[in-house]
Amino acid sequence: VCEKKQKLNFYGRRKGRKLRQGRQAQIQEKLPRVLIPICPGEEQLDPMSLFYPPVKDVWMEIGFGAGEHLAYHASTNPDIGFLGIEPFINGVASLLSKMERQDLNNVRLLNDDVRLLLCNLASNSLGRVFILFPDPWPKKRHRKRRLFSNALLDKLSQQMRP
């Protein structure tokens, strides 16, 4: 999963319909404030350091879609930090809107491939990981496109606390 030389192939859509002006403004103004930094090289990212005030635990959702599940958990668990990973920019814009409406300050986002973050995340740093609808690639010949794999599960097992 973390080969630095290996190019990560991504097969999903990154953008759907054109964003409305308000959503585009949210992406430009709010996303940089909550964006998870990807550290090149060997530097390990402690996800607890992304949150102020400090949080008790960090949970991650991979592929949050429009963000309903993530926003619900973030609002009901204000003492937990949430990492939301979604490459589809329209979904990111939708969650940013929910975060503003519900005044959620315990969410950090990455609008890219989760494998980039997993390569830099400190071991035993996640309490829970949500992957609700993992792969829209049902055919056997699409196996290479699937994110959900033994390699991903191995990496997640290193990042999660026992």
Written in H, E and C, the secondary structure of 41-62 is CCCCECHHHHCCCCCCEEEEEE
What whole-number distance in Å separates Cα of residue 22 and Cα of residue 28?
Answer: 10
Position 6 pLDDT exceeds 50 = no
For residue 133, what pLDDT is reported?
82
What whole-number distance in Å separates Cα of residue 19 and Cα of residue 30?
Answer: 15
Both structure tokens of 90: 């329209």
Position 51 pLDDT exceeds 90 = yes
For residue 5, what pLDDT is reported?
41
**112 classed as catalytic:** no
For residue 92, what pLDDT is reported?
94
Angle at 76 between CA 157 and CA 95, to 5 degrees: 75
* Domain ranges, ordered by start, for the chain: 21-159
**Residues 79, 103, 135, 154: which is the catalytic one?**
135
For residue 2, what pLDDT is reported?
52
Position 39 pLDDT exceeds 90 = no
Measured CA to CA in angstroms, residue 25 lies from 5, 21, 30, 97, 109 at distances of 35, 6, 8, 11, 16
Alpha helices in the chain (DSSP H): 21-29, 31-34, 68-76, 89-102, 114-118, 150-159
Helix, strand, coil share (%) of the chain residues, nearest 5: 40, 15, 50
Instruction: List pLDDT tens digits, range 80-99.
Output: 999 999 988 999 999 999 99
For residue 149, what pLDDT is reported?
82
If you average pLDDT over residues 118-130, what whole number do you get?
94
Q: Could you identify the residue written with the tokens 């949210």?
A: 26
Average confidence score pLDDT of the chain: 86
Architecture of domain 21-159: 3-Layer(aba) Sandwich (3.40)
The amino acid occupying position 3 is: E
pLDDT top residue among 68 and 9: 68
What whole-number distance in Å separates Cα of residue 151 and Cα of residue 157?
Answer: 10
